[in-house]
Amino acid sequence: MTDGAKTIIGIRSVTKRFNGNVLAVDDVSLDIKSGEFFALLGPSGCGKTTLLRMIAGFEVPSDGSVEIDGQVVDDVPPNKRPVNMVFQSYAVFPHMTVADNVAYGLKMDGVSSSEAKGRVEEALGLVQLPGYGERMPDQLSGGQRQRVALARALVKRPKVLLLDEPLSALDAKLREAMQLELRNLQAKVGITFVMVTHDQDEALSMADRVAVMESGRVRQLAAPRDLYEFPNCRFVADFIGKMNLFEGVVKSSAGSEISVGIDGIGDVRLPFDGSAQGKIGIAIRPEKAMVTADKPSDEDCLSLEGQVTQVAYYGNESHVFVKTASGLDFSVTTQNNERSVVAATNPGDRRWVSWRRKDTLVLAE
């Protein structure tokens, strides 16, 4: 996929302070590879948009530098950078036709009008708006305006396409369709896409690699699967998907096993490859745990007894909340595989919650 591909965007110890003291981006370094779909994911205010805007040239780093295709671009204004952006509000010029919007960047580059005409049609075809050239933006739906913004950026054949929360203004159904379409479009044009989003589903389903940001720093940079199954810290574990998080203390570690005392669970041995000391986080995904009436006999399982406090029914699955005798709150996702109108688990039931040792995450940070 992208292993060994050359770096198209290099972020080199970039720091951005606003008004001299507000730290938006804090010493971030990362490489974005040519041809990949890269996502910057994080809660609002984590600095992801600022980072994107520094790549586009709308903000200048306070420290460090940005490289595009091997060139330091800190002194290059946005209009001279080989990257283009799809804005969150799309910013489709309301006073120009769709064709004029798409042709705008070409005109600025001095592309002849006959060539521009062909490329505009081609770009509109690419975003599935063929023949929409003569319309005005206010005659288009939100989704169509976004396609115009996409075409307008892609028609310039940038080295990198930047997308600032591209799907946030669309309704849920359209968003899902657009996720797939953007993915396909990226594969088709082969241009590097860098997307900013706060929506983990979007990042996981679309990107090749995701950088999770918090408070101006990159907490983890990994492929979606690694990010979900092997978060490297409590923040990422909690931010991506749902998680049961507990506190523990390392008793001893030897080889690929670690002995941990977990509050409310007791001392357990867990498989762990790294090194950890003192207080650590213990995490179990709700869907990796089971709820059963009897204690499972499997030696590889850890189990706790408790009382069901609440059951939230979502159709395809249910979320069962259990309070253990030791006072821990545990949530378990169960698949509703059988057609039945009678719930298997009800509040007040006494149940066993269990999960496999190897599905337990040990979070040193």
Please compute, for residue 210, the number of CA atoms within 13 A of its CA located in the half-sphere on the CB side. Answer: 26
Of 19 and 316, which CB lies nearer to another protein in the complex structure?
Answer: 19
Residue 316 touches another protein, criterion: CB under 8 A: no
166 phi and psi, to 5 degrees?
Answer: -65, -25
Name residues contacting another protein, limited to 245-284 (CB under 8 A).
none
| Run of H or E including 201 | helix 200-206
Q: Which of 119, 156, 209, 234 binds another protein (CB under 8 A)?
A: 156
Helix, coil or strand: residue 239: helix
Total length of the chain: 365
Residue 56 touches another protein, criterion: CB under 8 A: yes
Of 95 and 173, which CB lies nearer to another protein in the complex structure?
Answer: 95
Helix, coil or strand: residue 217: strand
DSSP code per residue over 242-286: --EEEEEEEEEEETTEEEEEETTTEEEEEE--S---SEEEEEE-G
| Run of H or E including 15 | strand 7-18
Of 95 and 358, which CB lies nearer to another protein in the complex structure?
Answer: 95
- The CB-of-360 to another protein minimum distance in angstroms stands at 42
- The CB-of-200 to another protein minimum distance in angstroms stands at 25
Residue 142 touches another protein, criterion: CB under 8 A: no
Through-space distance between the first and last CA atoms of the chain, rounded to whole angstroms: 30
| Run of H or E including 106 | helix 98-108
Residue 19 touches another protein, criterion: CB under 8 A: yes
Residue 20 CB-density burial (10 A; 0-12 exposed, 13-18 middle, 19+ buried): exposed
Residue 57 touches another protein, criterion: CB under 8 A: yes
Q: Which stretch binds another protein (CB under 8 A): 54-62, 217-225, 242-250, 316-324?
A: 54-62
Of 122 and 229, which CB lies nearer to another protein in the complex structure?
Answer: 122
Residue 61 touches another protein, criterion: CB under 8 A: yes
Give the binding-site size for another protein (rule: CB under 8 A).
Answer: 42
Q: Which of 29, 43, 63, 245 binds another protein (CB under 8 A)?
A: 63
Residue 109 touches another protein, criterion: CB under 8 A: yes
Q: Provide the 10 A C-beta neighbour count for residue 164.
A: 22
Q: Which of 152, 234, 285, 351 binds another protein (CB under 8 A)?
A: 152
What distance in Å separates the CA atoms of residue 263 and residue 36, rounded to the nearest whole number? 42
Residue 62 touches another protein, criterion: CB under 8 A: yes
Of 64 and 241, which CB lies nearer to another protein in the complex structure?
Answer: 64
Residue span 66-105 as binding mask against another protein, x where in contact by CB under 8 A, dash where not: --------x--xxxx---xx-xxx-xxxxx--------xx
Q: Are strands 209-214 and 217-222 parallel, antiparallel or unpaired?
A: antiparallel
Q: Which residues bind another protein (CB under 8 A)?
A: 12-13, 16-20, 56-65, 74, 77-80, 84-85, 87-89, 91-95, 104-105, 108-109, 137-138, 149, 152-153, 156
